[in-house]
Amino acid sequence: MRGGGLGFRIGVGIALVALSVSSAGAQPDPYKLVRCSLRADGRNWERLQDYEWVEWVRKVDFDKHGRPKKTDVKAFQVLQIQGTPYRRLISRFDKPLSPEEEESERIKLERVIAERRAETPRQRAHRIREYRRRSRRVRDPMKEIAAAFLFEVAGEDEVAHRSVWVVRARPRPGYRPRTSRAKLFTGLEGTLYIDKETCNWVRAEAELVKDLWFGLFLVRMYRGGAVVVENAPVDGDFWAPVRLQYRVKLRIGFFKLLSFEQEIRYRGYHKAGVGAQGRRAGDSKASRRPLAPAGFKEGPQSGSATKETSGWRSSRSPG
């Protein structure tokens, strides 16, 4: 009896060890992962209003044959002024503004600061409320992501030196979007790279796999459009975008065709300071230096520019 008891205990111990090893290697529930990542994204979005940063923006327009016809490159300093952001132009084509344009931008900034400082409490509250309403409208479709897609864990990977879960997404059959913006989800397939430690999206990429119509068939968005988003920790546990690239081809009505690609790089996140208090802001020489993409390899968010997160960067028309 004593020997049988010992054998039983050894057997149970081996079974528990095997079970723990099996559980440690098991893949997580993709829907729990996605919901966790959406909560993390929401927290970061709320904190973003407390920060200022610099944006480098490149836009390429294409003709009807898919050939580039116009390229524009600008950089902006994003300042928080009395509760809402203001984008100050600081360079064109990676070169400082001319003295005349720099003076014009300075006057615009000081005018905005003066106007916002002169607001009554009711006017300021209304401005902030309207800004947040517009922001919520843009982000409302995020609430439908968990219901709009079928998810599966495709494995593990390392992206920008972060260990991630790779989660594939495809449209859920029968999904009915609650908002017009969420209709986009019915034609998207994509992949989320979710940080194992924090649940944040290190990268998200998606492609439009079928044509979609909006507004009583007045707007047609063509398949082949795509988006890549890269995020990184920029201040402790606060994560923010470091790169966004998307391409779109759509027809408005019967005649107007729009086809373009836009890439935005973000850097220099810091807590809102003088700009947030409504005093003169953004006058440092560092804030006005040329901002070629290579400049965004500086600072704590430099990992986004590594080979692992290169994503797609070619300037070609979708479709």
Q: pLDDT tens digits for 11-34?
A: 434 333 333 333 345 789 999 999
In a 13 Å sphere around the CA of 130, the CA atoms on its Cβ side amount to 6
Contact present, 64 and 269 (Cβ < 8 Å) = no
Q: What are phi and psi of 274, to 5 degrees?
A: -65, -35
State percent of the chain over pLDDT 90. 69
Q: What is the mean pLDDT of residues 127-143?
A: 92
Q: What is the mean pLDDT of residues 93-99?
A: 96
| pLDDT of residue 302 exceeding 90 | no
How much is the mean pLDDT over the chain? 83
Q: What is the mean pLDDT of residues 109-122?
A: 97
Two structure tokens written together for 118: 């002169």
Contact present, 256 and 226 (Cβ < 8 Å) = no
Q: What are phi and psi of 112, to 5 degrees?
A: -65, -45
What confidence tier does 173 reach under pLDDT thresholds 50, 70, 90?
A: very high
Amino acid 25: pLDDT: 52
pLDDT of 235-252, one tens digit each?
999 999 999 999 999 998
Distance, CA of 313 to CA of 267 (rounded, Å):
18
Amino acid 181: pLDDT: 87
pLDDT of 56-82, one tens digit each?
999 999 998 889 999 999 999 999 999
Amino acid 33: pLDDT: 96
Amino acid 253: pLDDT: 83
Cα distances from 147 to residues 55, 110, 171, 205, in angstroms, run 32, 46, 9, 18
Instruction: Look at the block and give the residue holding tokens 């028309």.
Output: 317
Amino acid 18: pLDDT: 33
pLDDT of 188-215, one tens digit each?
999 999 999 999 999 999 999 999 998 7
Instruction: For 133-156, give the DSSP string.
Output: HHHHHHHGGGGGHHHHEEEEEEEE
Amino acid 138: pLDDT: 87
| C-beta pairs of 155-158 under 8 Å, 24+ apart in sequence | 156/196, 157/193, 158/308
Q: What is the mean pLDDT of residues 124-134?
A: 96
| pLDDT of residue 299 exceeding 70 | no
Which comes out higher in pLDDT, residue 69 or 281?
Answer: 69
| pLDDT of residue 114 exceeding 80 | yes
What confidence tier does 217 reach under pLDDT thresholds 50, 70, 90?
A: low
Q: Domain coordinates of the chain in residue numbers?
A: 40-309
| pLDDT of residue 263 exceeding 50 | yes
Amino acid 254: pLDDT: 79
